[in-house]
Each structure stands twice: as C-alpha cells, then as structure tokens.
Amino acid sequence: MADITRRLGWRHLRGTPTAHIRHHRGGKLLHDGPGLSFWFRALTAALSEVPVDDRELAMTFHARTSDFQDVAVQATVTYRIGDPAVAAARLDFSIDPDTGSWRGAPLEQLATLLTETAQQHALDVLARTPLSSALVDGVAAVRERIAAGLGAEPRLPATGIEVVAVRVMALRPEPDVERALRTPAREQIQQEADRATYERRAVAVERERAIAENELASQIELARREEQLVEQRGTNARREAEEHAAADAVRAEAEAARSVRLARAEAEGAREVGEARAQAQAAWLRVHAEVDAATLHALTGARLAENLPRIESVTLSPDVLTGLLARLGTQERP
C-alpha cells in the first residue's frame, strides 16, 4: 500500500520498489513505474498500484477419481504480474488518493481466476485416474497438468499474469477411505514387527540355550576335574600313608634292633660285672682263707665299724667300766 501524506491541499505519494504506480490526470499518464514518489492533487489524479513481486497462492479443493472416491488436493501457485499496464486495464487496481488503499479487491479476483483454472485441470486429470494410482503417482501428474494448463490458459496473459511455479503438497482421500487403505499396510507392518519379534525371541532363546549348554559343559568339566582332584588327593593320601607306614616300619625295626642291641649290651655288661664280682669274691675268699682268725676278727670289727653310725660321744657307766676292766684283766692273765 502506498504511503500518502497531506500538505496544504496537495498529496504526496511514496511507493515501494515492489509496487508499480500509474498516475493519470485528465486522461494523460503522468507517472508510470515502481518505487515512484511525487506530489499530486486529489481532485484531478487517478492512481493505481499494481504489485509486481512474486506472490504465493495456497489452494485446497476436492476432486473425484475414476473409481468415484473423493480426494482433497492441496497446492500452491506462485505468480507475478508481468505487465502492470495490462493488469491495471483489466482489473481494478485503483487506490484512494487520501488513504492509499485499493478501492476494490483485485488480488482476490486473481486468486479466484488462478484457483478455478488450476482446479479445472486437476479435476480433469483425477477423473481419469483410480484412487490407488492417484495416491501413488497423482501428485506429480496433477502438478504437471496444472502447470501446463495455467501456462496454456489465454486469460492469464491477457490479464498480465505470469505463473512462476506450481507445487502440489498432498492428495488425501476421505478419512474412512484413508483408514481402510492404511489397514493392510498397518497389518503388514505389524506382521513384520511380530516376525521380527519372534525372530528376536528365537535368537534370544538360542543364545540362552547356547549359554546354558556352555554352563553345563563348564559344570561337567569342573566336576570331572574335581573327580580327578579327589582321585589324585586319594592317591596322594594313600601314598603318604604308605610312606608313613614304611617309615614307621623302618623306625620300629630300628627301635627293635636298638633295643636288642641295648639288651645284649646290658646282658653282656651284667655278665661281665657278675664275672668280675664272682672273681673278686673268690679272690676275697681266698685272701680270707689264708689269714688267721685274729686278723679276720680285726677285719670284721673294722667292717662293722665302717657300717656303724657315727658316734659323737660315749658315756660309760661305772658298771660297764667295771665289767670291761674285769674282762681285760682276765684276758691278761696267762
């Protein structure tokens, strides 16, 4: 929208680079071009503003396929006004000299023209296409047909309109039909998911079985090794017992031989001691046999004295002393 200001009965218009301004006064064209800025009188000026930038027109319409199924088409047409003079002559792009806004709705007229033209060509191509093919390849076919139809439409160049691009975003059937079409695919996907789940479970079971077999094999091997260990321990214990028994036997034989030797040595010593004592006794007897009786008595007294206890003191009574003296006197008499 142009920017218009007031100054003492005059108006000043300032346009934008994307708006083509046409200024007529008295039937003569005074200003013509984009991005203009000029002064004018409101009572004598005829102004029009034609946008020359690219514009997007979104459209949604319904069509019917060859198998009588309704589909919704979502498309976008990009267009521009290539000839502003022709567009201004065919459509009402005039603006109010006080506000700068359009007096009519030219862009809505262009949108209606483009939408109806595009819808006509889309209906034509979808009417000869079944629903399944339309959902698979219909987007490209509809886009090409709309682009070709808009390019060949004579009303568009006559209005100064150029079509830049056509895009078709989606072709959608009715919700019930869409759910019905999704069901086989969903069932197939579910079947694939179930099969993948079963395969994953089978793999898991196989792995668990392999793990269990490995554990069982490990337990068997461990039991076998334990059995070997027990056997080896038994063999070692038996061998140790045999070694201890052999050692005890050798020790017992050595002790017995030692005892025998000791007994023999003791017997031999006792015999030698007995013989020596016997010889000594015999020699003692021979010596005493050759000695007289007085000597023997003296020796006997000496031996008795040796065996008597020690006498610290002797007390002689008068009676004992008298008897001893009398006995000595008797012995001294011839």
> What digits encode the pLDDT tens for the residues 206-243?
999 999 999 999 999 999 898 889 888 888 888 888 88
pTM: 0.55
Higher pLDDT: 302 or 189? It is: 189
Alpha helices in 175-317 (DSSP H): 175-290, 293-307
Which tokens is 182 given? 């999704």
Cβ atoms of 110 and 82 within 8 Å: the answer is no
Instruction: Give the pLDDT of residue 9.
Output: 81
User: How does residue 175 score in pLDDT terms, banded at 50, 70 and 90?
Assistant: confident
Instruction: Give the pLDDT of residue 304.
Output: 67
Helix, strand, coil shares of the chain, percent, nearest 5, are 60, 20, 20
Instruction: Give the pLDDT of residue 181.
Output: 79
Between CA 287 and CA 251 the distance in angstroms is: 52
Between CA 65 and CA 132 the distance in angstroms is: 9
* Residue 187 burial by Cβ neighbours in a 10 Å radius (0-12, 13-18, 19+): exposed
Residues in the chain: 334
Phi, psi dihedral angles at 333 (to 5 degrees) = -70, 140
Between CA 127 and CA 124 the distance in angstroms is: 5
Between CA 41 and CA 32 the distance in angstroms is: 17
Sequence-distant (≥ 6) Cβ neighbours of residue 151 within 8 angstroms: 163
